Amino acid sequence: MGIKSFSRARAIHVMLVYTGGCNGCDIEIVNSILSPRFDAEQYKVFLTWNPREADVLVVTGPVTHLNRKPLEAIYEAIPNPKLVVAAGSCALMGGVYKNCHGDIPSEEIEGPVENVIPVNAKIPGCAVRPQDVLAGVVSLLPTLLDAD
């Protein structure tokens, strides 16, 4: 293991972008980092709000129209190597908003996230559990370590 992989494994900066879900996933993810019970920092995962600092972008929610461009802009702002984690069933497949409708389908959903930006890992769940979020981010480690 070179010094590059070694240092990458010991400091992972995660940025969270919510793109119009129901808030459930957002709060669970913030919870998994802010609550002392889960405390992501002990696994060397740090929460940041600056795209220039981030390595991993965690996206929740189906991407609504007004959120598409901000999401793309933030994705562009992250320096390489960068990885994207889609968390929650809305981010994976549009959730109930895209797939479960009566007479009129919703026209507001641009998602799933895959349609907008490339996704490296998917965390299922409605809402995602904090344990799953940590597991998902940590499961990206091999990809992150081998990237240039």
Partner 1 sequence: MFENILTNPIFAVVITVLVCFIISTLLPGIERKYIHARIQQRIGPPVTSPGIMAPLKFMFKENVKVSSPVPGLYKSLPVICFIVVLCVMIALTPQAYMIPALASLVAIVGFLKVEEICYVLMGALSKSVMSVNMPFPDQIKGAAHNNANRSFIEDISAKRSLRMITYGSFPLYLALFAPVTAAGSIFLQDIVSFQQVNGPFLFTVSGGIAAIVFFIGYMIILNEYPFSIIKAKSDVIEGPYMEYAAKYRAVVVITRGFFMFVLGAIFSVLFIGVPPTIMSWGILINIAVALIFVFMMGIFSAFSPVFTNRQLLPTILGATLLGILSIVLGLL
Partner 2 sequence: MDEKVPKSNIIETEIPMGTVHPAALEPYRVRLFVEDEIVQEAEITIGVNHRGIERIMEGLPVEKANALTEKICGICSNSHIWNSCRTAEMGLNIEIPERAEYIRVIMGELERLHSHFLYLAHGCEVLSHETFSMRVFYMREIVMELLAMIGGNRVQYGCSVLGGVRPRCDLDEAKLLRLKNDMDTIEENLTGFVDRFMADSILLSRVTGIGVLPQKQAIKLAVTGPTLRATGVARDLRTTMFEYDNFDFNVITQPDGDVKSNLIMRALESFESIKIIRQAIANIPEGKVVNRDWEMFDTDIVQSYIEVPRGTLYHSYRLEGGRVRHSIIRTPSMANIGAMQYACIGDQITDAQLCIVQCDPCFTCTDRAIEIIRR
Stretch that binds partner 2, among 3-11, 28-36, 113-121, 139-147 (CB under 8 A): 28-36
Is position 25 an interface residue for partner 2 (rule: CB under 8 A)? yes
Which residues, in sequence order, are CB contacts of 22 under 8 Å at separation 6+? 61, 90, 127
Is position 30 an interface residue for partner 2 (rule: CB under 8 A)? yes
Is position 97 an interface residue for partner 2 (rule: CB under 8 A)? yes
Distance CA 28, CA 87 (A): 10
Q: In the structure encoding, which two tokens stand for residue 28, read together?
A: 């669970």
What's the min distance (Å) between Cβ of 46 and partner 1? 7
CB atoms within 10 A of CB 6: 10
Nearer of residues 25 and 117 to partner 2, judged by Cβ: 25
Q: In the structure encoding, which two tokens stand for residue 129, read together?
A: 């559990």
HEC-encoded secondary structure of 72-84: HHHHHHCCCCCEE
Is position 26 an interface residue for partner 2 (rule: CB under 8 A)? yes
Residue among 79, 81, 105, 118 that touches partner 2 (CB under 8 A): 105
* Site for partner 1, rule CB under 8 A: 3-4, 6-8, 10-11, 13, 36, 39, 41-42, 44, 46, 49-53, 55, 66, 69-70, 72-74, 76-77, 79-81, 148
Nearer of residues 81 and 118 to partner 1, judged by Cβ: 81
Distance CA 97, CA 76 (A): 27
